[in-house]
Structure 1
Amino acid sequence: MQIKCSDQRPVVAIAGASGFVGQALMKRLMNNYRVIGLTRNEKKVSESERSRCLNLEWRQADLFSLLEAEKGLQGVDYAFYLVRTGVPSARLTQGKIQDMDVILADNFARAAKKAGVKQIIYLGGLIPEQANGVPGCLQSRLEVEAALRAHGVPVTVLRAGIVIGAGGSCFRMILRLIRHLPMMICPRWMSSEVHPIALQDIVVLLAACIGREETYSQSIDVGGSDTLTYKQMILQIAELMGKKRRLYSVQFLAPVVSSLWLTAVTGIPLQQVKSFVGSMKYPLIGKRRWLQQRLGLPGLPFAEAACLALQEEARGKTEKRKQAALFGGKHGKKKRLNNVRSVQRFVLPRGRNADWAGREYAEWLPRHLKPMIRVYQKKDGRLWFLLAGVKKPLLELTYSKERSTPDRTLYYITGGILARVDTQRRGRMEFRQVLDGRYVIVAIHEFIPRMPWFLYRATQALVHLWVMRSYGRYLHLQAERIGG
């Protein structure tokens, strides 16, 4: 649905608008701003009641695509980045979530720069005082901040702990634990202190940052009026629910076992649980909360925030039952697409760029796989990857001159024995330098194999990973040689 207002109010885009924070933020902003909700999932757009509001426009934008990100941010004055990558974005995903986070943030920052966005406001996470040596899920927060700042748009970062609100992954996890387990075994790191904040407070703080120049290029801690351990949060919420629960601490429960156990009990995806568990070992307390002090917003006490979240969750359940009664609980299932996303990060040799990495790959691959594979570059810019003795290419990549820059080289997958190109999804391979040029990310997006899925998983997918790791080792040796 398109915005129908012709007024001159500022235009605000929200990436991650379908999330529980994004939805609450939209409600607050629509009276004073023209709001654009960016979402990857078209089904969510059609089912959302907010799509009937005149001051709201939904734009479908997969932020893994720089082109879609650019279209999504056209005409935007201020942009919120509330994106999380805990849910797989393809049927097969190869690579670390941290590297995918960097791609999403880098695309968003590039698109914001091109659109003339005045400010990016990012809801990140609290960082331990000793950031060195913390797990990737916490380092990823710093990398996302760096990626958003890399292209010159002023960035405001609000660093929050757990946001207490209906629909939040941590809050849902706690509720399911309480409902299913009268007694719980708790690892020792559940005694770490954390600084929760109410959904209502975080929405006020996010909205207050719009155009507030004193927050530009700042990372600001936020939190509620209480600090608690995870065990204390569980017990307080259980008391509010009228349930008595017992928690027993143990010293031997490893993070991997904890993650599998939590996934089995709560049904929350393993990747989300791993990220949550990885951060639990460290105290996450907001120290620099100067924005709240200036706004006179100390934050709701935890018990009040949890009570409001429980009330909202009950209303949400009632609304779902009404919709199920209205539509009979029937929703057409979308046919699963056999798409692949592979994201690998490598050290980029000093003085080199993404364009060099792409050209070097085309020259390195036939040397590495000689005599099985050779690469033939046609005059029109297409690359053919040929198997010895076979005339037709295994893959055909077409260089996109219009969409490539020295720090990001893009090839479209336009043919070959191994690839399907007769779908609406446009497969592509990119070489992208990130984080001050220290790394290059080699990524394949929306690749759709031609061979049967089970056969692809057992052969081509594994070969691709082996080739990428070999290329990564080659780049690492090149970096050592140049550095010496």
Structure 2
Amino acid sequence: MSQAVVAIAGATGFVGTAIRNSLLEQFTVRGLTRSAYKLSHPDPNDPVQWVHCNAYSASSVEQALQGTDYLIYLIHSMVPSSRLTQASFQDLDLLLADNFAQGAKAAGLKQILYVGGLMPDDEREEASQHLSSRYEVEQVLQASGLPVTALRCGVIVGPGGSSLRILINLVRRLPIMGLPTWTWSQTQPVAIQDVLKAVKLCLGEPGEYSGSFDIGGPDLMTYKDMMQITAEEMGKNPWMFPFPFVTLGISKRWVSTISNSSQALVSPLVDSLRHDLRAKSNQLQDQLVSSAVTFRESVAASMDEHGFPLQNPRQELKREDQQMIREQRRVRSVQRLPLPPGKDARWALEEYVRWLPQFLKPFLRCDVLEDRRVLFCLRFLSTPLLDLHLRQGGDEHRTVLDIIGGLLADTRESPEGRLEFVEVFDGKYVIAAIHDFCPSLPWYIYNTTQAVVHLFVMSAFERHLARMCEASLVVDTNAERSAE
């Protein structure tokens, strides 16, 4: 009898590496990766099936999931995937989750397992952008209609973890530590071994483990406690004292500088530290907590004998990928826009094509041709700035225009460039996204001209749609009053 196939999105990271290695005896594991370096340097002894998957392409995701039974979803988009990325990590996470939700549904998967984060104890408290984004991902995956198991984990502690590496480097490098107020927030870190136990218990059991489950270790502690225990395991005794005057903004900068971590990674993590994050009792947590690994044990196993954090398994791959990203000159621009009631992605595209020439009326015209082409041209030039073609196979919820030419596009370097509109959250929003676009202008000139204009235009289009939403709300309110 053949083994069930489990696909892992985010298979090369800290958590993904641990999960894929732990499942090899029970499942056929398919690792999904966009890394050209990973695919071009295969390990003949690696039992994992590595498959190319561009997570930003719905068709690529659906193709990569064909023939699989389960999906483990681990993607978080705090690391840039293009040389220029114009987007918040929340909007990128939302788009990626929708791609995988729709791809999993089309491929007929039996279960999606998502590893997210604990939510604040007080439901009335406004969650940080990082935690809110993880909750949105959970909602989007559940909207697929497939059985979804969401593991809401505390800080995952293990060799190579990004959050733990930041903590270890802070303690290792600072003999004196002024502690901001967030260091008194309570949390419940969980060892990577216990996350693996949870995955094994839930995977393949969508009937018993459908829904959201908090996962935490045996230690309820503050971030100050975590720093103190980490220092003890290093054999250090730093002087720690309360310093409540430090704002979150200052905290982000000094944490980034001292830990040698990017602001893109540190900023959303520090924002989340102001919350108390405790695992609520549930059937899965109750099975794990009695034998769970302590924070002291797991942090000790995550450092070498000199107190340095053990390397993230993706570190070498990350360096090669970043070099390739710099060389490829690709652009990604993603914006979440309000969608008027009763409208869809096809309408949003048509409205954009209608609105843009009016907004830039003295300069721009838009020609819609019978062969499904859309040309954006300067009024005094016959050659289009951009030549786009409406892709067949789309629907009212996802509409794609492929960039096939124009003065501003280098389609020989990147024939995959496209503009797409995707409806999410049952029509509450539409995501407008440019993917894999390669500009023909020199990079510095593009960055300071065309890229800036695009953001300006999309911001104006967002305001235009917001006014339409408000007008629709007024009409509905007046209609209700008239009916009364």
What TM-score do you get using the length of structure 1 for normalisation?
A: 0.92
Aligned to 1:478: 468
Aligned to 2:103: 111
Q: Distance in 2 between matches of 1:318 and 1:433?
A: 36
Three-state SS of the structure 1 residue aligned to 2:303 is helix
**Deviation (angstroms), 1:21:** 1.0
Moved more, 107-116 or 122-131: 122-131
Aligned to 1:23: 17
Q: Report if aligned partners of 2:213, 2:285 keep a CA contact under 8 Å in 1.
A: no
Aligned to 1:183: 176
Q: Distance in 1 between matches of 2:313 and 2:342?
A: 57
Moved more, 266-275 or 218-227: 266-275
Q: Report if aligned partners of 2:194, 2:288 keep a CA contact under 8 Å in 1.
A: no
Q: What is the one-letter code of the residue matched to 1:261?
A: W
Q: Distance in 2 between matches of 1:275 and 1:215?
A: 33
Q: Report if aligned partners of 1:119, 1:216 keep a CA contact under 8 Å in 2.
A: no
Q: Deviations over 1:316-356 (max 9, x none)?
A: 56999xx9xxxxx9999546221111111111100111110
Specify whether residues 12 and 340 from structure 1 end up closer, same or farther in structure 2 by C-alpha distance, changes over 3 A only.
same
Matches within 5 A, 1:268-287: 268-287=261-280
Q: Deviations over 1:138-157 (max 9, x none)?
A: 21111101111122111110
Q: Which one of the candidate residues 297, 310, 315 is aligned to 1:304?
A: 297
**Deviation (angstroms), 1:62:** 1.9
Q: Distance in 1 between matches of 2:323 and 2:461?
A: 39
**Is residue 423 of structure 2 the alignment partner of residue 433 of structure 1?**
yes
Aligned to 2:479: none
**Deviation (angstroms), 1:204:** 1.1
Aligned to 1:208: 201
Q: Which one of the candidate residues 230, 239, 247 is aligned to 1:237?
A: 230
Specify whether residues 354 and 270 from structure 1 end up closer, same or farther in structure 2 by C-alpha distance, changes over 3 A only.
same
Q: Distance in 1 between matches of 2:312 and 2:132?
A: 39
**Deviation (angstroms), 1:267:** 1.7
RMSD after superposition? 2.4
**Deviation (angstroms), 1:248:** 2.3
Three-state SS of the structure 1 residue aligned to 2:26 is coil
Q: Distance in 2 between matches of 1:347 and 1:246?
A: 50
**Is residue 333 of structure 2 the alignment partner of residue 339 of structure 1?**
no
Q: What is the one-letter code of the residue matched to 1:192?
A: S
Q: What is the one-letter code of the residue matched to 1:464?
A: H
Aligned length: 468
Q: Distance in 1 between matches of 2:223 and 2:451?
A: 40
Aligned to 1:326: none
**Deviation (angstroms), 1:48:** 7.1
Which runs of 5 or more structure 1 residues have no equivalent in the other structure? 1-6, 324-328
Q: What is the one-letter code of the residue matched to 2:35?
A: N
**Deviation (angstroms), 1:482:** 1.3
**Is residue 139 of structure 2 the alignment partner of residue 146 of structure 1?**
yes
Three-state SS of the structure 2 residue aligned to 1:117 is coil
Specify whether residues 456 and 296 from structure 1 end up closer, same or farther in structure 2 by C-alpha distance, changes over 3 A only.
closer
Specify whether residues 11 and 64 from structure 1 end up closer, same or farther in structure 2 by C-alpha distance, changes over 3 A only.
same
Specify whether residues 134 and 316 from structure 1 end up closer, same or farther in structure 2 by C-alpha distance, changes over 3 A only.
closer
**Deviation (angstroms), 1:211:** 1.8
Matches within 5 A, 1:76-225: 76-131=68-123, 132-225=125-218
Q: Report if aligned partners of 1:174, 1:234 keep a CA contact under 8 Å in 2.
A: yes
What TM-score do you get using the length of structure 2 for normalisation?
A: 0.92
Q: Deviations over 1:368-395 (max 9, x none)?
A: 1113111101111010001010000111
Q: Distance in 1 between matches of 2:320 and 2:197?
A: 37
Q: Distance in 2 between matches of 1:160 and 1:228?
A: 15
Q: Which one of the candidate residues 459, 468, 479 is aligned to 2:449?
A: 459
**Is residue 239 of structure 2 the alignment partner of residue 246 of structure 1?**
yes
Three-state SS of the structure 2 residue aligned to 1:257 is helix
Aligned to 1:34: 28
Specify whether residues 120 and 249 from structure 1 end up closer, same or farther in structure 2 by C-alpha distance, changes over 3 A only.
same
Matches within 5 A, 1:257-276: 257-276=250-269
Q: Which one of the candidate residues 396, 406, 409 is aligned to 1:419?
A: 409
**Deviation (angstroms), 1:53:** 2.8
Three-state SS of the structure 2 residue aligned to 1:385 is strand
Specify whether residues 19 and 412 from structure 1 end up closer, same or farther in structure 2 by C-alpha distance, changes over 3 A only.
same
Q: Distance in 2 between matches of 1:425 and 1:188?
A: 50
Q: Distance in 1 between matches of 2:95 and 2:220?
A: 33
Specify whether residues 330 and 138 from structure 1 end up closer, same or farther in structure 2 by C-alpha distance, changes over 3 A only.
closer
Q: Report if aligned partners of 1:13, 1:36 keep a CA contact under 8 Å in 2.
A: yes
Specify whether residues 394 and 232 from structure 1 end up closer, same or farther in structure 2 by C-alpha distance, changes over 3 A only.
same
**Is residue 246 of structure 2 the alignment partner of residue 256 of structure 1?**
no
Specify whether residues 78 and 319 from structure 1 end up closer, same or farther in structure 2 by C-alpha distance, changes over 3 A only.
closer
Q: Distance in 1 between matches of 2:216 and 2:377?
A: 57
Three-state SS of the structure 2 residue aligned to 1:309 is coil
Three-state SS of the structure 1 residue aligned to 2:419 is strand
Q: What is the one-letter code of the residue matched to 1:406?
A: E
Q: Distance in 1 between matches of 2:126 and 2:363?
A: 42
Aligned to 1:75: 67
Three-state SS of the structure 2 residue aligned to 1:178 is helix
**Deviation (angstroms), 1:214:** 3.8
**Deviation (angstroms), 1:70:** 1.1
